[in-house]
Amino acid sequence: MKYFIVEAFTDKLYSGNPAGVCLLDEWLEPEKMQKIAGENNLPETAFIVKEPEGWRIRWFTPAFEIDLCGHATLASGFVVLTQLEKDADRVYFNSQSGQLCVERYNDRFMLDFPSRPPVPIEIDPLLEKALGVPVLECHLSRDMIIVVPDAQSVKNMTPDFDIMRQVKGCMGFVPTAKGDDCDFVSRYFDPNDAIIEDPVTGSAHCTLIPFWKERLGKTQFVARQLSKREGTLYCSDEGERVRIAGNAILYLSGELYVQ
């Protein structure tokens, strides 16, 4: 099986978000794909197959399959457009979240994803204890958007994940604030996953983009995810869709010997 590791949302090695991309001739059993993702132990591993109606994609964390992953889709598009279909400008992936597009955009790759606006919810008192910073607002879609005072609060927080696990009702926790040298910043925590902090989370921006559109009164954004690896995302709100662009760089190309 051909296998790639791509650093997504960065143009430098050892930064951004690393994704595994497995190129399959036909689908494996889900249990085997999960074992491969666990063995690779990257934030996400994407599996892609060329089917009669086009490419299909599935995403696995080291612990479970997920319904949408931005950086592993960008990485998969990068692999198809730079390694397999070099004359193409875009590739479409069918997925459980509908059809997704990755388009070559100058030296970046752009995702066309569904918009997932959040709705306001009450603040769980445990959140401030979990994050160690004041919580100003909470909003919920698949993930919980948590507004904190400023970018430094996002960058410097050291969460208590045991307390965070007591807060129910979402997949990931996304502290966010207005940026100092960009439009907005965020981080992404999933205390129930094998990799608790995702370095750069494209799918979370399906919610962050419409949220910050309402706050900032604009539709074009530069966003930064302030994990240790960091990453930059170039975003736009298109109504029912969002566009998320970033750079990508190939770290590894090799072969997996899967029985």
CA terminus-to-terminus distance, the chain = 10
Q: Among residues 200, 135, 199, which one has the least CA distance to residue 167? A: 135
Task: Give the C-alpha separation, 191 to 159, whole Å.
Answer: 10
Record the tokens describing residue 31, joined without a space: 């249990």
Q: What's the confidence (pLDDT) of residue 259?
A: 73
Select which of 26, 31, 39, 44 is catalytic: 44
Task: Give the C-alpha separation, 132 to 156, whole Å.
Answer: 10
Record the tokens describing residue 220, joined without a space: 């074009």
Q: What's the confidence (pLDDT) of residue 27?
A: 96
Q: Express as a percent the part of the chain with pLDDT over 70.
A: 100
Q: What's the confidence (pLDDT) of residue 258?
A: 84
How high is the mean pLDDT of the chain?
96
In order of their start, the domains of the chain are: 2-114+245-255 (3.10.310.10), 119-237 (3.10.310.10)
Q: Tell me the mean pLDDT in the region 172-184.
A: 97
Task: Give the C-alpha separation, 221 to 218, whole Å.
Answer: 8
Q: What type of residue is 16?
A: G
DSSP, res 256 = -
Task: Give the C-alpha separation, 136 to 159, whole Å.
Answer: 16
Q: Is pLDDT at 106 greater than 90 in this prediction?
A: no
Q: Tell me the mean pLDDT in the region 110-124.
A: 97
Q: Tell me the mean pLDDT in the region 216-223.
A: 98
Q: What's the confidence (pLDDT) of residue 53?
A: 85
H or E segment and range at residue 139: strand 137-140
Record the tokens describing residue 47, joined without a space: 């599996």
Q: Tell me the mean pLDDT in the region 211-236.
A: 97
Q: What's the confidence (pLDDT) of residue 105?
A: 87
Residue 118, CB-side half-sphere exposure with 13 Å CA sphere: 28
Q: Tell me the mean pLDDT in the region 152-176.
A: 96
Specify whether 44 is catalytic. yes
Beta-sheet pairing, 2-8 with 248-255:
antiparallel
